[in-house]
Amino acid sequence: MGISLNHFSIRTVDLDACERFYCGLLGLKKGPRPPFPFPGLWLYAGETDKYDNAAVHIIGIDRNDPEGLKKYLGDRDETSLTGSGAVDHVAFFATGLKETLDRLKAHGIEGRERTVPLLGLHQVFIDDPNGIVVELNFPAAEKAALGG
C-alpha cells in the first residue's frame, strides 16, 4: 500500500478563531471545500486550486443543527475538544484499496466507507488502538474497479 499524509482535522465551536490562527498567524489560505452536511473550513498550504493542498480541515459544530456532523463523522462531547482531544482525525492518501480491505477483514476490522465524487476519492475510516480515527483516501477508480 502506498501512503502519504493528506490532512488533519480539528473539531471546533469557533471557526473564526481557527481561521484567524491558521490563516492570520501561520499563513494558510482559506479555500474551497466540498458541500459536507456541517460547517467547516479547508485551509490550504499552497495554491487553493488543488484539494491535495488542503492541509488542515476545520470541522465546525453547529449547535443549532448538529445532525449532519453526527451522521457523517459521529458525535463528540464538546467538553473533550481541548488540547489533542480537538483532533478529529488524521487522513492519508493511499493506494491498494482491495488489499487494504482484505487485510482489515483478516484482522476483524470493518472500515466505514464512503465515496466523495467531487474529490475523486473513496474513503475508509478506521480507529487506531487509541481511538484516533484514521481516514484512508483511495482513488475512487479503485473502488469502481471493485464494482462499487
Q: What angle do CA 106, 136, 140 make, to 5 degrees?
A: 100
Residue 40 exposed, middle or buried by CB count within 10 Å (0-12, 13-18, 19+): buried
What's the predicted TM-score (pTM) here? 0.78
The average pLDDT across 71-91 equals 90
* pLDDT greater than 80 at residue 129: no
25 pLDDT tier (thresholds 50, 70, 90):
confident
* Class of domain 3-145 as given by CATH: alpha beta
- % of the chain residues with pLDDT over 90: 69
What mean pLDDT is predicted for residues 23-29? 88
Which of 114, 116, 127, 139 has the alpha carbon at shortest distance from 1? 139
Q: Which of 43 and 132 is assigned the larger pLDDT?
A: 43
**Stretch 60-85: mean pLDDT:** 91
Residue 8's nearest CA partner among 88, 101, 106 is 88
**DSSP character at residue 145:** H
**Rounded to an integer, what distance in angstroms lies between the CA atom of residue 13 and that of residue 40?**
10
